[in-house]
Chain A
Amino acid sequence: MKNKRFAIVLDTDRCIDCKACTVACKAENNVPLGPDNYRNWVVTGKLRGSYPNLGQSFIPSQCQHCGNAPCEHVCPTKATTTNPDGIVHVDDDKCIGCKYCQTACPYNARYYNEETEAIDKCTFCTQRIYAVPAQLPACVETCPTKVRVFGDLNDPNSEVSLLLAKNPSKVLKPAMGTNPHLFYLD
């Protein structure tokens, strides 16, 4: 766990807005019903151009597992911490439900889970990636067009490392200085 740095690389050109990733995530992680309860989502981009020359993008996203996470800085009880593998983690028992992390997150990646009685968000499906044998996060595995690629940035031969080496990419809201670990291929 110490020598890993997990990340997801996304190719949004492949996204068909089926939202299977959201459904798979909800099923895998027992996300409660309700419009505010989700760990990942798909943003519908603006319609480009005019008829008949039209285009539209869909941008799936989730917790960015920031290298400089605002949610971790603001949490009054250290309920949110960053694991050595880069996964931003919430300790349910320590969460007081002040929602400061929700206001601090520039990506709106967090919600309050009434069932676990704590703030909840993407964990990169820790229970799957550390299982034996290891599995991919539910959103990665279920995607019919393979928008997301998950892997270890500390391994130079991993698929994520190779994709980022060979292709230009960007992160969301770079000006926030959060050092996100979700990378979007240009």
Chain B
Amino acid sequence: MSAFNNRPNLYVWIAILLLGMGVGVAGVINVLLNGHAQVYNVTREIPWGILIATYVFLVVSSTGLCLISSLGHVFGMKQFEFIGKRAIILAILTLLCGFGAIAMELNHPIRMGIYAITSPNFSSAIWWMGTLYGIYLMFLCAEFYFLMRGMHKGAFTMGVLGFTAAVSAHSNLGAVFGLLEARAFWHGSFLPIYFIVSALVSGCALIGMIVYFNHKSSGAPMPQKYRDFMDSLGRLQILCLMTLIFFVIWKIIPGIYGHPPGKYEATMAIINGPFAFNFWFFEVLLGLVIPLCILFPKTTRTPVGVMYAGLSSTVGIFFMRYDLVIVGQLVSMREGTAELVDGLLQYSPSATELAIVIGSISTCLFLYTLAERLLPLDPDEY
């Protein structure tokens, strides 16, 4: 904690985050004053834009942090125990900032609070997702409280409940997309399962970064125990990345095999269409291949290597979320729609949408930086 004092880099970092938050606030004010239709680029045919993608990115990060940290205080893998507090507080913050992003996409977040309780629709995946994420947030907060108090039994119980809620809520998020028969690219049981796997990659990536930067900021060399942990985390990340690659391959092949209507056009948009650069450069190269190239050789599977792999994966995963959300809507529901380009609808985020994305991610990082500074997050500081 004290390690943050008198470090100029910290002030530069905070200044950047404050700037990002300022941009976000400007975006929020703009949409509150002018309305969604005027300042967002979402349309009748593509009603979900980059704010939904950012929500998915942030809550996937939260789930991943919860799942990976539960290896320690739920599943008893000693090596993972010491990351508990950091992982759980970041899980809480990513979830809250995710809620913030989706609140800005919803036209009536306050009505949601009322009618989700007084008029619930149990057949709606969004209702289940919201409810389960709410329960998940409560368990996370309780778990964090017990971890901070050093009450390990309580932390274990809340960890088990949090793990269960995380898997339920997150698979339901996949179901929000997967249950839509109208959207061939999303429909099916694939996405709920895929979301869990990709959450594990997100979790490993973020934990690698927070452990590395926490020690980097202290200025002290990383103890051997932590170096060993980073090596184990790197190995675990290899497994998660390989599994994710397997999922990506099996998402693509049924999308092109036999040209299934709707699914084929969307899949081709990412392989060889308007989203091809996003897919091949960000998703495949940055998200999957570069991290694996860093993590496979023992010589580069160092703490800094694991951090870089995590950073690369995190950037790639953001584009995975963006592409998943947007590409699923590119195929028009109606033949003869006039605005099609090469048979597909068009979407690119507006400046206001981007500002809110920057704001939500900056807020999350800022709050985490504050938490590092104000809370005793080291494992031995109860």
**Interface set of A (CB-CB < 8 Å, partner B):** 34, 36-37, 41, 43-46, 59, 61, 70, 73-79, 93-100, 102-108, 110-112, 114, 117, 176-177
Q: Check: B37 CB closer than 8 A to any chain A CB.
A: yes
- Complex alpha-carbon distance, A29 and B112, angstroms: 26
Q: Given A98-B112, A102-B44, does the pair A76, B120 have CB atoms closer than 8 Å?
A: yes
**Given known A98-B106, A111-B44, contact A74–B180 (CB-CB < 8 A):** yes
- Any A CB within 8 A of the CB of B179: yes
A99→B47 contact, CB < 8 A:
yes
B92-139, CB < 8 A from A: 106-109, 111-112, 115-116, 119-121, 123-127, 130
Contact of B116 among A37, A77, A111 (CB under 8 A): A77
Candidates B109, B111, B334; contact of A94 at CB < 8 Å: B111
Known contacts A44-B336, A96-B111, A97-B106; is A76 also within 8 Å of B329 by CB? no
Query: Chain B interface secondary structure, helix, strand, loop or mixed?
Result: loop
Interface range on chain B (Cβ under 8 Å from partner): 35 or more
Complex contact A70–B180 (CB within 8 A): yes
The contact of A98 among B35, B37, B126, B332, by CB within 8 Å, is B126
Whether B109 and A96, one on each chain, are in contact in the complex, defined by CB atoms closer than 8 angstroms, is yes
Question: What is the CA–CA distance of A27 and B71 in the complex, to the nearest angstrom?
Answer: 61
Check if B119 sits within 8 Å of A99, measured CB to CB.
Answer: no
CA distance A96 to B47 in the complex (A): 14
Q: Which residues on the B side are within 8 Å of A95 (C-beta)?
A: 107-108, 111
Name the one of A73, A94, A103, A107 contacting B115, with C-beta atoms under 8 angstroms.
A94
Q: A75-B124, A112-B36, A112-B37 are in contact. Are A104 and B182 (CB under 8 A)?
A: yes
Chain A: minimal CB distance from B325 (Å): 10
Q: With a CB–CB cut-off of 8 A, which chain B residues contact A117?
A: 107-108
User: Taking each of A36, A73, A99, A112, which has the highest tally of chain B beta carbons within 10 Å of its own beta carbon?
Assistant: A99
Q: In whole Å, how far is B183's beta carbon from the nearest beta carbon of chain A? A: 6
Q: Does B48 contact A (CB under 8 A)?
A: yes
B378 within 8 A of A: no
Q: How far is the CA of A174 from the CA of B297 in the complex (A)?
A: 54
Q: Which of A78, A106, A176, A177 contacts B121 (CB 8 A)?
A: A78
Q: Which residue of B lies closest to A110 (CB)?
A: B44
B253 sits at the interface (CB 8 A): no
Tell me the nearest residue of chain B to A112, going by C-beta.
Answer: B107
B36 pairs with A74, CB closer than 8 A: no
Q: Could you say which of B37, B130, B183 contacts A103, with CB atoms under 8 Å apart? A: B183
Kindly list the 10 A-B residue pairs having the minimum CB-CB distance in the complex, ordered from nearest: A97-B107, A77-B115, A99-B47, A106-B182, A36-B44, A76-B127, A108-B333, A96-B112, A43-B336, A102-B47
